[in-house]
Amino acid sequence: MRNIFIIFGVSGFWHGANWTFIIWGLLNAIYFLPLLLTKRNRANLEVVAQGKHLPSILEIMQMGRTFFLAVLAWIFFRSDNVSMAFDYLSRIFSSSLFTVPDFKDKHMAFITILLIGFFIAVEWIGRENQFGIEHILKKRAKFIRWSFFTFIIFLIGICMKTEETPFIYFQF
Amino acid sequence: MKLFLSSLIKFSAFSFVGYLFLVVFIGSTLPSYFSPNMRFVRGMYGHSHTRFKEADELDKVNTLILGSSHAYRGIDTRLIGSPDKTAFNLGSKAQTPIHTEILVQRYLTKLKPELVIYEIYPWTFTSDGIESTLDLMSNGPMDLPLARIALKQKNPAVFNTAIYALYREKFGLDKEFKQNISENNDTYIPGGFVQSSIHRFRNQAHVNQEWDFKPIQFQAFKRNMNLIENSGAKCLLVYSPITSRRYNSYTNQSIFDSIMNASGTYIDFNPLVELDDSLHFSDSHHLNQNGVEIYNRKLVEVLSSIDFKTDHTRTPFFFSQDLHEKNT
């Protein structure tokens, strides 16, 4: 257990001399503890829902839990300092959690959700391979496979964030 | 290896054609919010489409006005020109010097002005020019100079818009397009000016800030000055009024002034015209029509009395060294 904390603590410190990185590392060590204490730390190495099209409810919940904990730790990783991270967390876990999100740009939110859904689907289908799209449509005609790859390139080109001087002239 | 290279070349060609097809297909069929990096808006704010069409039909003008929205919203051709001294405002949305160069190349020889009023808002020298490129692509022809800028800007929104604009142009899809003279709060006045309905600005404080100039814009500005000078036209560089709070917030304004003074006959109208930040502006840097009238009266007065600098009375300047020395 001591070694786990040392390894994850050092991993955090390796990213930078800031408490935020150390907390990020220690959080990951804490996440690891239940598996270590129950001696199941080598029990989840296989691909999720191997050979099946869809995950079970339990597997969906397990993936959701892992994602939630990882993202929670990344708040510390991404923040400038610890108080900023806690401020961020307090805003997330406030009463706003139970309100309908107020998107400034509803169309953009819709497109973003569509894109996230598409890329999750691609990753899910290709989860048994090193790269998500590695074997997708491999049995199909080359034209279909190449069309799919071209579509992905197009999605990146049409939706990627671009660096521009802020439009102070907007509407002018 | 040979097979890999062969597949790579074939796939590159395939995906290139496929990409073009998808841009055209999405642009033609789906609402614009499905393609955030494809910003083709024919007849957008600023009436560039109407202005360029009018410029295409003109033979000659006495005074040509260039610049950003500060030009086409700030210099009223009805006040600057007269029946025997015509004026045309070729300002366009966020026009930066690299875009002024395109318009100067397109129209200077055609319109043969005797005087060019070149509105130089410092912000345009800090901009990457994406906004203006998109405006010119959407509302004018996709010519070679514009295509060159698109390639230099290396921006996906510019590439995608260029593809779609070229498609519409080649298939003549906008031949019949005519923009409404009045849109939202703006009315296009023949001669290139855009008059906004009068509203006042609630003044706001500005923290001190610096202009972050881009050398590429000064290089284009220098070429523009050469083109204007070679055409035989006189040129007046003007800095149109912005709110005093905004104007005073820039701590390196003097660098810009000295470069402009060294480049030609330059007048900063901010200290010359008495304007109220609330009564004469519609936002922090655009005059409303009341402000335009006061500013333009002063501009006419200046034009009638000014001695233009000739080539030998100007101080030669080399932008990059000049700016570097003054910054350090």
Which tens digit of pLDDT belongs to each residue from A74-107? 999 999 999 999 999 999 899 888 888 777 778 8
In chain A, which residues have their Cβ closer than 8 Å to the Cβ of B36? Answer: 108, 111, 158-159
Which chain A residues contact residue B93 at CB under 8 A? 169, 172
Partners of B85 in beta bridges: B82
Cross-chain CB nearest to A157 (options B19, B130, B286): B19
> How far, CA to CA in Å, does A8 sit from each of A42, A77, B309?
17, 13, 70
Domain-embedded: residue B82: yes
CA distance A20 to chain B (A): 31
Q: For residue B280, give how far its alpha carbon lies from the nearest alpha carbon of chain A (Å).
A: 17
Kindly determine whether residue B35 and residue A158, on different chains, have CB atoms separated by under 8 Å: yes
DSSP state of B62: S
- From the CA of A155, how many Å to the nearest CA of chain B? 9
Hey, which residues does B195 pair with through a beta bridge? Answer: B187
Chain A within 8 Å of B26 (Cβ-Cβ)? yes
Q: How far is B37 from chain A (nearest CA, A)?
A: 5
Q: Where are the alpha helices (DSSP H) in B205-251?
A: 215-231, 244-249
Whether B192 is covered by a domain: the verdict is yes
CB contact residues (below 8 A), chain A span 106-125, against chain B: 107-108, 110-111
pLDDT at residue B170 tops 90: yes
Contacts of B126 in chain A (CB under 8 A): 165
The answer to whether B269 and B239 have CB atoms below 8 angstroms apart is yes
Mean pLDDT of B295-313: 84
Cβ A159–B128 below 8 Å, yes or no? no
Domain boundaries along the sequence of chain A: 1-99, 101-172
Whole domain around residue B222: which residue ranges?
Answer: 47-131+179-326
For residue B104, name the pLDDT band (cuts at 50, 70, 90): very high
Q: Give pLDDT tens digits for B35-52.
A: 889 999 888 788 999 999
- Report if residue B32 sits inside a domain: no
Residue burial A10-46, b: 16+ Cβ < 10 Å; e: rest? ebbeeeeebbbbbbbbbbbbebbeeeeeeeeeeeeee
**Mean pLDDT, range B300-320, rounded to an integer:** 72
Q: B22 to chain A: which residues are within 8 Å by CB?
A: 150-151, 154, 158
- When divided into structural domains, chain B yields a total of 1
Let me know: does B92 contact B103? Beta carbons within 8 Å: yes
| pLDDT level of residue B315 (50, 70, 90 thresholds) | low
Q: Which among B38, B73, B286 has the least Cβ separation from residue A158?
A: B38
Residue A15 known to be catalytic: yes
pLDDT < 50: residue spans in chain A: 167-172
pLDDT for the residue numbered B328: 45
Whether chain A has a CB inside 8 Å of the CB on B35: the answer is yes
Q: In this predicted model, what pLDDT tens digit does every residue of B68-84 receive, in sequence order?
A: 999 999 999 999 988 88
Task: Please judge whether A165 and B73 are an interchain contact, meaning their C-beta atoms are less than 8 angstroms apart.
Answer: no
Quick check: is B213 in a domain? Answer: yes
Name the active-site residue from A15, A53, A107, A135. A15
- The CATH number of whichever domain residue B208 belongs to comes to 3.40.50.1110
In a domain, residue B190? The reply is yes
Q: What is the pLDDT of residues B119-132, one digit of tens each?
A: 999 999 999 999 99
For range B3-14, the mean pLDDT: 94
Please report the ipTM that was assigned to this predicted complex: 0.80
B320 has pLDDT over 60: no
In chain A, the residue whose alpha carbon lies closest to the alpha carbon of B184 is A171
